[in-house]
Amino acid sequence: MKHLIDPMDLSKEELDQIITLAQDIIEHREKYQDSQRYRKLATLFYEPSTRTRLSFTSAMMELGGNVLGFSDAKSSSVSKGETVQDTVRVVGCFADVIAMRHHIEGAQLYASEVSRVPIINAGDGSHSHPTQTLTDLLTIQRELGHIDGITIGFCGDLKFGRTVHSLIKALSRYKDIKVVLIAPDELKLPDYIKQDVCDKLGIQYKEVSTMEEVMPELDVLYMTRVQQERFLDLEEFDRVKDSFVLDCAKMALAKKEMAVLHPLPRVNEILTEVDADPRAAYFRQVENGKFVRMALITKLLEWKDDPAHDMPEGEEPVYDATLRCTNAKCICNNEHAPHKFRRSDSGTLRCWYCDSKIR
Ligand code: NCD
């Protein structure tokens, strides 16, 4: 069965099918308005969300389906100590597909190991956010008319920003992508993305320290919020929180057809004066998120019983009783998920669930 836990769970063909369907939904909304009648989506949100949860809800409503779930885990049996695996076993009796957001990394992957309905990862800690990635890809396609060949600048919190990690992974499915990383030292992109994604899958990248020096090269500028809730040291947050701010003076250096994306919520990294610039695509991006989730739900329900769309054959996990994942926010250290690992080409051992480097 097909789940969407990581952007690489989708082949290039499947990605194309979802983006194409989303575009058809935009053009012919009436054709789809009753297409998932009697189907149910459960939204299990263990972490705050406005856009993502409402976007899933409105996507399923526009398809004529129903939505159930919780937006505050305290009001569910989680507060009695129920595990995510038991919760999805139970919810799978009531719903045809589950969208889950969790502050614990790897929670959805662990849940998918026992689920009888497709699981959609709506964000796990600072790890992955594949449906935001689909939103971003549809937005780039609609704003620029193509994704192949773009130069994209990622600016802000590249360490904790899960939307950045997932989008870079998915861009490895496209041709001639150039990535520019703009972040303070404390918030640089994790090594596993640089090594296991950019180096291994052939994405060219460079790191720069100012926005001004790269603005004229960019086709897309992907701004992000500094993720206060993921900092263990709040003094460090205060030091870096205002590192990069986009204003009209910087926009004046950019190409006429550059697109500015932001997964939102914004704090102060894009001044409101930029909103009136036609290149500011972030509110259009929000609406694209609903259309692409309509397409994703439709495809996952269509693919559910088709072995051709099973999860990609992955590597076999490595078990070693002497090793443990050291990430306190990983599912292995929060529930009884086994400590298992994957070995990358360079020989590095990483946690199966959260990708933290073990050795
Ligand atoms: C992002 C997230 O939750 O990771 N927002 C979203 O889903 N649109 C980005 C963020 O919180 O900064």
Residue 106 is given by DSSP the state T
State the amino acid at position 85 in one-letter form: Q
**Stated length of the chain:** 359
Helix axes 51-62, 282-303, angle to 10 degrees: 60
Q: What is the pLDDT of residue 16?
A: 98
Ligand 1 neighbour 52 (Cβ under 6 A): yes
Q: Tell me the average pLDDT across 140-167.
A: 97
Residues 186 and 236: beta-carbon distance below 8 Å: yes
Answer whether residue 11 shows pLDDT above 80.
Answer: yes
Q: Are 226 and 157 in contact (CB under 8 A)?
A: yes
Tell me: pLDDT of 323 over 90: yes
CB atoms within 10 A of CB 248: 11
Q: What is the largest CA-CA distance in the chain?
A: 57
Ligand 1 atom with the shortest distance to the CA of 47: 3
Structure confidence at residue 322 (pLDDT): 95
Q: What is the pLDDT of residues 60-80, one digit of tens each?
A: 999 999 999 998 887 777 777
- HSE-CB of 267 using CA atoms within 13 angstroms: 12
Contacts of 87 (CB under 8 A, 6+ apart): 44, 76, 77, 78, 111
From the CB of 129, is ligand 1 less than 6 Å away?
A: yes
Strands 204-208 and 349-351: unpaired
For ligand 1, atom 7: residue with the closest CA: 52
Count the alpha carbons within 13 Å of 4 in the hemisphere toward its beta carbon.
32
- Report how far apart, in Å, the C-alpha atoms of 207 and of each of 172, 195, 198, 210, 259 are: 18, 14, 13, 10, 20
Cα–Cα distance list, 57 to 19, 41, 344, 351 (Å): 19, 8, 37, 32
Q: Name the pLDDT band for 230 (thresholds 50, 70, 90).
A: confident
Whole-angstrom distance, CA of residue 234 vs CA of residue 159:
15
- Say if ligand 1 is within 6 A of residue 53 CB: no
Answer whether 123 contacts ligand 1 (Cβ < 6 A). yes
Task: Mean pLDDT check: name the lowest of 177-186, 192-201, 237-246, 346-355.
Answer: 237-246
> pLDDT tens, 271-320?
999 999 999 999 999 999 999 999 999 999 999 989 999 887 778 899 99
The ligand 1 atom nearest the CA atom of 163: 4
Report the percent of the chain where pLDDT is more than 90: 82
Distance 31 CA to ligand 1 centre (A): 30
Q: Counting atoms of ligand 1 from 1, which one is nearest the CA of 52?
A: 7
Q: How far apart are CA 118 and CA 112, in angstroms?
A: 7
Q: CB of 156 closer than 6 A to ligand 1?
A: no
Q: Long-range contacts made by residues 324-327, C-beta under 8 angstroms, separation at least 24?
A: 324/358, 325/351, 325/353, 325/354, 325/356, 325/358, 326/356, 326/358, 327/105, 327/351, 327/354, 327/356
Instruction: Identify the three-state secondary structure at position 226.
Output: coil
pLDDT > 70 fraction of the chain, expressed in percent and rounded = 100
Instruction: Tell me if 55 CB under 6 Å of ligand 1.
Output: no
Confidence of residue 104 (pLDDT cuts 50, 70, 90): very high
Whole-model pTM?
A: 0.95
Q: 45, 71, 132, 286: which to mutate for ligand 1, most atoms within 8 A of CB?
A: 132
Which residues make Cβ contacts (< 8 Å) with residue 235, sequence separation at least 6? none
How much is the pLDDT for 173?
Answer: 96
How far is the C-alpha of 29 from the C-alpha of 43, rounded, in Å? 23
293 lines ligand 1 (CB under 6 A): no
Q: Give the per-residue pLDDT at 113.
A: 95
Q: Which ligand 1 atom minimizes the distance to the CA of 122?
A: 7
Atom of ligand 1 nearest to the CA of 289: 8
Q: Whose CA is nearest to atom 11 of ligand 1?
A: 265
> Quick check: CB of 223 below 6 Å from ligand 1?
no
The residue nearest atom 12 of ligand 1, judged by CA position, is 225
One DSSP character per residue, 321-353 reads: TT-----TTBGGGTSS---EEEE-TTS-EEETT
* The ligand 1 atom nearest the CA atom of 51: 8
| CA of 264 relative to ligand 1 center, distance in Å | 6
Q: Bin 126: left if φ > 0, else alpha if -120 < ψ < 50, else beta.
A: alpha
Stretch among 158-172, 206-220, 223-237 having the lowest mean pLDDT:
223-237
Query: How far is residue 115 CA from its own chain's centroid?
Result: 20
* Ligand 1 lined by 289 (C-beta under 6 Å): no
Banded pLDDT at 267 (limits 50, 70, 90)? very high
Mean pLDDT of the chain: 94
Residue with the smallest CA separation from ligand 1 atom 8 is: 263
Q: In this structure, which amino acid lies at residue 175?
A: K
Q: Considering only 38-47, 171-180, 337-346, which range has the smallest mean pLDDT?
A: 337-346
Q: State if residue 162 touches ligand 1 by the CB under 6 angstroms criterion.
A: yes
In order, the DSSP letters of 13-26 are HHHHHHHHHHHHHH
